[in-house]
């Protein structure tokens, strides 16, 4: 009897070997496609019952070319690369990794916020160019006098709020979907307008959806406190690039830290790469030795749990009972 097939799409700089080994030891045939091209994925993953997904777009057309699929396991907390409605219609499970890099992303967001407030990038540039404190003209502000605002109150934002509480004078957040009973102590709950008007640093922690795509546009930026800072470690498409650049040029924003971009990597001449008031990192907020191993292993564990019990560990799409995809036969 042929072994059931699991295929990894793009893995970028992740090492899939720990997950590959776990699945192979359980009796699966594992193929590492290393591509986001739908034609390459469709050909290489033919007959696969499970797909481990990086950033490749998994839409209805691709799903129709892979009729054997029963489960899609993403290698990230976000799952906007998967057409979840199309997956649900086809009776497929979709899973994600809700907490594999929570601490890492929260720490990166806090480090970015502090670097902006303290002007570390400009201070570093001044020293490297032969200057000293007289060339560092903008005085940093004391964090204890500032408000950190969070858009979204999920796992990462909650950890960030805990990390930031001893440093910032106030932590506030907006999340209309969060329950009042589970709201963390010490974080002021505000409407979006009130949050924008009162935050000195605004950090984005919301998923990418139709409603949040381009959330940070010219209108939103115009409502932010003059001279404030923006941090984005979530999804690049949350921020409208031209509006951000205009706000930086006009001085509405003192600076911004971006770990994510609408196009990754951005082109060499993209002004997001070169603006002097931007602090940049290469979509690396999630990276640590522990998280990179988890990103390879936990999708495999989701597939193994589905195979053994009929349900994965961390689903975000559960098929309707009549269309539920069963585990693989080994």
Q: For the chain, what's the residue count?
A: 330
Separation between Cα atoms, residue 163 and residue 107, nearest integer Å: 8
Exactly one of 225, 235, 252, 307 is catalytic; name it.
235
Rounded to an integer, what distance in angstroms lies between the CA atom of residue 69 and that of residue 71?
6
Annotated catalytic residue, options 138, 142, 223, 264: 264
- Please list the alpha-helical segments (H only) found in 119-169: 120-128, 155-164
138 is catalytic: no
- Out of 275, 283, 293, 324, the active site residue is 283
Q: Would you put residue 28 in left (φ > 0), alpha (ψ -120 to 50) or beta?
A: beta
**How is residue 307 annotated by DSSP?**
H
Note if 307 is an active site residue: no
Q: CA distances (Å), 164 to each of 19, 144, 278, 307, in order?
A: 34, 10, 21, 41
CA distance 246 to 136: 23
Residue 283 designated active-site: yes
Residues marked as catalytic: 235, 264, 283
């Amino acid at each position: 009897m042929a072994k059931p097939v699991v295929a990894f799409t793009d893995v970028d700089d992740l090492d899939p070997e720990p997950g590959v080994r776990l699945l192979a030891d359980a009796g699966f045939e594992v193929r590492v496609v290393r591509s986001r091209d739908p034609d390459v994925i469709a050909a290489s993953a033919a007959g696969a019952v499970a797909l481990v997904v990086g950033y490749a777009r998994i839409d209805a057309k691709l799903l129709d070319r892979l009729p054997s699929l029963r489960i899609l396991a993403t290698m990230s907390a976000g799952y906007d690369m998967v057409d979840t409605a199309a997956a649900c219609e086809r009776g497929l499970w979709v899973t994600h990794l809700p907490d594999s890099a929570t601490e890492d992303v929260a720490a990166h967001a806090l480090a970015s916020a502090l670097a902006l407030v303290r002007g570390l990038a400009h201070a570093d540039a001044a020293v490297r160019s032969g200057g000293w404190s007289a060339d560092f003209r903008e005085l940093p502000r004391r964090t204890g006098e500032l408000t950190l605002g969070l858009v979204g109150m999920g796992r990462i934002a909650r950890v960030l709020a805990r990390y930031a509480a001893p440093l910032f004078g106030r932590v506030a957040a907006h999340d209309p979907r969060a329950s009042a009973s589970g709201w963390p102590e010490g974080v002021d709950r505000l409407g979006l307008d009130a949050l924008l008007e009162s935050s000195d640093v605004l950090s984005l922690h919301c998923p990418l959806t139709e409603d949040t795509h381009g959330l940070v546009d010219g209108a939103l930026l115009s409502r932010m406190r003059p001279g404030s800072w923006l941090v984005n470690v979530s999804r690049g498409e949350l921020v409208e690039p031209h509006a951000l650049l205009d706000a930086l040029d006009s001085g509405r924003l003192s600076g911004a830290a971006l770990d994510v971009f609408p196009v990754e990597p951005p082109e060499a001449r993209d002004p997001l790469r070169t603006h002097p008031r931007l602090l940049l990192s290469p979509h690396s907020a999630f990276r640590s030795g522990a998280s990179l191993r988890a990103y390879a292993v936990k999708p495999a564990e989701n597939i193994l749990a589905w195979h053994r019990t009929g349900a994965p560990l961390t689903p975000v799409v559960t098929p309707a009972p009549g269309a539920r995809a069963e585990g693989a036969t080994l």
